[in-house]
Amino acid sequence: MKQLLAFLRQPRNLAALSAAMMLVGYMVFLIMANYTSQMDLQRSAASRFEGEERNLARILSRFFSEKEKEVADLAGSRTIAIYFENKALGMTMAYGLRASIISIENRFKAFMGEERLGNASVYKGLILQDQSGHPIAAAGETEEIVMILAHWNDRPDSGGEGPRILVKPGDPLPYAVIATPCRFKGAQVGETAALVDMEAVRRHFLTSEVPAVRRRLVLDLENAGNSSPSEPVRAANAVSTPLLSYSIPVQGTPFDLVTRVPASRIYGETRPDRLLLATATLGLLILGTAVYFVGMNARNRILQAHLKEATAREAEIEEKNLALDRYRLNLEQMVEERTLELKKTQKELLIKATEAGRAQMATVVLHNIGNAVTPAMVHVEQMKIDGLEKIVFYLNRCYEDLKAHTEDLGAYITRDPRGKEVAAYAETLIRELGTYQTDRLRVIEEVHAALSYVAETLTLQQSYGPETARITETADLNQLVEDALLMQAGTLQQGNIHVNKVPAPGPLLVRVERNRLMQTLINLIRNSCEAMDFPDGSSPERRLQIKTFKAHDRVGFEVTDTGIGLETDSEEDLFEFGNSRKGFSGFGLTYCKEFVEANGGSISLTSPGPNKGATARVTFPDPL
Amino acid sequence: MKRNFPKMFGWCCGWLILFLGVAPFTLAGDLEEVKQRGVLRHLGVPYANFVTGAGDGMDVELMKRFAEYLGVRYEYVKTSWKDVIGDLTGKKVKAVGEDIEILGPVPVKGDVIANGFTILAWRQKIVSYSTPTFPTQIWVMARADSTLTPIQPTGDIERDIAAVKKQLKGRGLLGVADTCLEPSLYGVSQAGAAVKMFKGNLNELVPAVIKGDVEATLLDVPDALIALEKWPGQVKVIGPLSKEQGMGVAFAKTSPKLLEACNRFLEMSSADGFYLELVRKYYPAVFEYYRDFFAGDR
């Protein structure tokens, strides 16, 4: 208690408590006002619904009244009157009277077609019968009419001056009959009756848009058969009733309009007292929640601070992500530029390598020419220092000696000892001269052979020269192999390499750039030759096999060596520019691959393993 | 019979000479000629709902469609009951009992007669009929206040006819010469009726009776049904004077192919429901009276 007083002494707390009390009071006021309004609304809704049903009963009353008038008009129509007139004249069915009946029936059919409720016809059948109940003319369904008329005409109070609505008791009411007397010259001569389709009436008037509202017409037995005045609404309602029922007489008919409707459709789903309870509960919940939220306020602030911090961090991360994106874009651009530079460098290297290849090829040519020229020079030098001058000198001396003894030349040769030696020496010199001639002829032959080889090499080299490059032509692969081996003869001989040729039979035609294929062959042969120079200086058997073949629409050749072989996983790498088994530029195989694939061929390099040799296989499409 | 033979022979010879003399320019057109001419000439006399005189009528619509069927233009040629046969055949004739007497040549004006043209024995001697298109019967119709009383049907048509004739003695009765209402066809004079030949339009017969010019008139069923509708309570049907008859489309004897074409056309119109629609339109009540006649069409 003391604590409470202490709490209230604080002006701020007192003000807050006062405000809370006022709030609670205002809430109670609102709840009570809402309860009172709900009760008023319910009474108003019930009253309005009842008014609507009464209005519907009036509409039905007017509808049946109109139908009675229509049937009465039909019964008094000229069409029906003509029949009775002709009958009164004595006309018979066989001769003329039937025409009147046909007219009546046509009129009935037209009448049924004219009177409609929506898409449905109001009348299902019509009948005209005479006073004794015999049918004269009929249209549509007449069995029900006859039955209902018979039922009511048997009653003592049946009959009447005007139209009547007749219904056979039962529920539901499928049909009702509107019967009206026919008169001719003031006397009743028959009755016209129309069968009303009550189902059509129900569909048109009684069907509610709200499925829960059920309406039907029931027969008011006290008024059945005559159009007596109505009774008041008989059923009432109560707030606590789950199902409300209204029974309203339809004026001028034997029907009551009975409507059943769930109370919730009128009063709402919730009763006012329950709504009061719910609203009060809601008020308490709101108060409790308010208290709770005050407590939550501090925590909310902390959470908001955290949220703010998280937002800032998120923004920072976002900024960094943007920077990363920018960096990535720059990186991609740089990679692209570097790639372009690399491609440019590769192209330059390729050009340089091509030039180096050409220089290498020129070196090979010069080497081959040198190989041929050197022995020729030796022979020429030998020819310079040969003994021909000495022989000539000694022959001149012999000639001078013999000239001096011209006078006694015979005795000098035959008897003088010096003369005998001169003769013998001259013979020796003549034989030496013969030998010299033989040697000179041999040297000339060798020089000739060397010069021929040089000429042949030059001719061969010229045939693969640049002026014929890039021209596709048909060449014999066997011949190309022969030429390549001939061009590499010096290298092969120098390397002490035994060559084994396995040519395919006949000419093996291939359509390629001839000089580049030659370069490819030479590159592969040289590659094999180099592969057989083992790093440890060992010198196993050095064999090179070149095989040409034709199989499955392909022609090609294989160059197999007994060299250092390949690692099984490095076969493809060797075709890449810069890869070499021997430390060279690595252009040779790259060149080969580029050329072969450019000409629709394929190239592969296989090996059983290190130090087990390797095979280069090249194939091209068979041009035939 | 022997006594009449020279007279009959003379008529036939005269008719033959007349025919041979005027045939080239008086024959009604057969099918080829109608097609060549491009027009079907419909001879019609305003009568009941067959030819109303207002440009329509059951037979008018039927012939319009027949012309369409033939692929020619339709042309209505107005005529009279007195001249209708001459306008078709080129020969003016007169009924003599069930025979005819040829009175002389007349110009041909049409190719077909269709206006509720009852099939009668004497007419069949000068024209050819299509298959019957409509049922009929001859009734006696009297003013409502007449003392003539409608007979009670006995179920026997001969007895009904006799009962009617029995009442006609000394009574004024209207008829129309050269039509199905020709009193001599039904022996009413022999029954003692005071026959009076009507000169006007057939549609004016009933008004003449109502007006009091004469007590009763002969009338065919289609016209009687119209009269009962038009003047209800003012006239009454006394009873029959003939058995059931038929109406048909009439052609000249020289137009057999046109007749054949018409029969085919009627068959088609019956099959596709066109003819039945016409009957419903112009004579709805006749279905009830002659159920058997229209049973096939239904």
Instruction: Using CA coordinates, name the residue in chain B closest to A99.
Output: B285
- Chain A residues in contact with B152 by the CB 8 A cut-off are 92
CB contact (8 A) between residue A102 and residue B224: no
Instruction: State the DSSP code for B187.
Output: T
Enumerate the domain spans of chain A: 45-267, 388-461, 470-621
**Mutation choice for B interface testing from A84, A89, A104, A105 by most B CBs within 10 A:** A89
Q: How far is B277 from chain A (nearest CA, A)?
A: 16
Instruction: Identify the residue among A95, A100, A101, A102 best suited for mutation to test binding to B, counting B beta carbons within 10 A and taking the highest.
Output: A95
Query: Closest to B228 (Cβ–Cβ): which among A81, A94, A96?
Result: A96
Residues of B in contact with A108 (CB under 8 A): none
CB B89 within 8 A of CB B28: yes
Across the interface, which of A81, A89, A101 has its CB nearest the CB of B150? A89
| Token duo for residue A492 | 């092969």
CA distance B272 to chain A (A): 24
Q: How far apart, in Å, do the first and last CA atoms of chain A sit?
A: 120
Residue range B56-72: average pLDDT? 95
Vertex A130 angle, CA A129 and A131, to 5°: 125
Q: How many CB atoms lie within 10 A of CB B197?
A: 12
In this prediction, residue A160 carries a pLDDT of: 61
Average pLDDT, chain B: 86
Q: How many CB pairs under 8 A join A and B?
A: 60
Would you call B149 and A90 a contact, using CB atoms and an 8 Å cutoff? yes
Q: Assess contact for A255 and A266: CB atoms under 8 A.
A: no
Q: How confident is the model at residue B287 (pLDDT cuts 50, 70, 90)?
A: confident
- pLDDT in the model for residue B296: 61
Please enumerate residues of B whose Cβ is less than 8 A from a Cβ of A. 139, 144, 149-153, 160, 224-225, 228-229, 232-233, 236-240, 284-285, 288-289
Report chain A residues whose CB lies below 8 A from the CB of B239.
95
Complex ipTM: 0.72
β-strand B194-197 against B134-136: which pairing, if any?
A: unpaired
Of the candidates A223, A225, A186, A238, the residue with the CA atom closest to the CA atom of residue A76: A186
Tens of pLDDT, residues B248-285: 999 999 999 999 999 999 999 999 989 989 998 888 87
Q: Which residues of B touch A106 (CB under 8 A)?
A: 284
Q: Which residue, B150, B158, B152, B114, is CA-closest to B132?
A: B114
**Option in A90, A98, A106 nearest B284 (CB):** A106
Least Cα distance to B287 among B278, B234, A90 occurs for B278
Contact B245, B118 (CB under 8 A): yes
- Helix or strand run (H / E) with residue A376: helix A272-384
CA distance B128 to chain A (A): 31
Is the CB of residue A135 less than 8 Å from the CB of residue A129? yes
**Contact assignment for B150 to A95 by CB distance below 8 Å:** yes
Query: What average pLDDT does range B132-141 have in this prediction?
Result: 92
> What is the signed CA dihedral for A462, A467, A471, A476, rounded to 10 degrees?
-10
Domains A45-267 and A470-621 alike in fold: no
Percent of chain B scoring above 90 in pLDDT: 56
Q: In this predicted structure, what is the pLDDT of residue A549?
A: 93
Asked if residues B112 and B42 have their Cβ atoms less than 8 Å apart, the reply is yes
pLDDT one-digit tens code per residue, B3-42? 455 555 555 444 544 444 444 344 557 899 999 999 999 9
> For residues B160 and A490, what is the distance between their CA atoms, to the nearest angstrom?
149
Considering only CB atoms, A82 lies closest to which of B225, B232, B238, namely B232
State the Cα–Cα distance between residues A84 and B56, nearest whole angstrom.
Answer: 33
- A89 CA: distance to closest CA in chain B (Å): 7
Residue A292: per-residue pLDDT: 80
- Asked whether B97 and B184 are in contact (CB, 8 A), the reply is yes
A616: enclosing H helix or E strand: strand A614-621
**Which value, in Å, is the radius of gyration of the alpha carbons in chain A?**
68
Nearest Cβ partner for B288 among A86, A90, A102: A102
Of A95, A102, A106, the CB nearest to B237: A95
* Among the four given CATH numbers 1.10.3720.10, 3.30.565.10, 3.40.630.10, 3.30.43.10, the one describing domain A470-621: 3.30.565.10
Name the residue facing A85 among B149, B229, B233 (closest C-beta): B233
**Residues in chain A whose Cβ is within 8 Å of chain B:** 78, 81-82, 85-86, 89-96, 98-103, 106
Given the candidates 3.40.50.620, 3.40.50.300, 3.30.450.20, 3.30.70.990, the CATH classification of the domain at A45-267 is: 3.30.450.20
List of chain A residues with pLDDT < 50:
225-239, 467-469, 583-585
pLDDT value of residue B2: 42
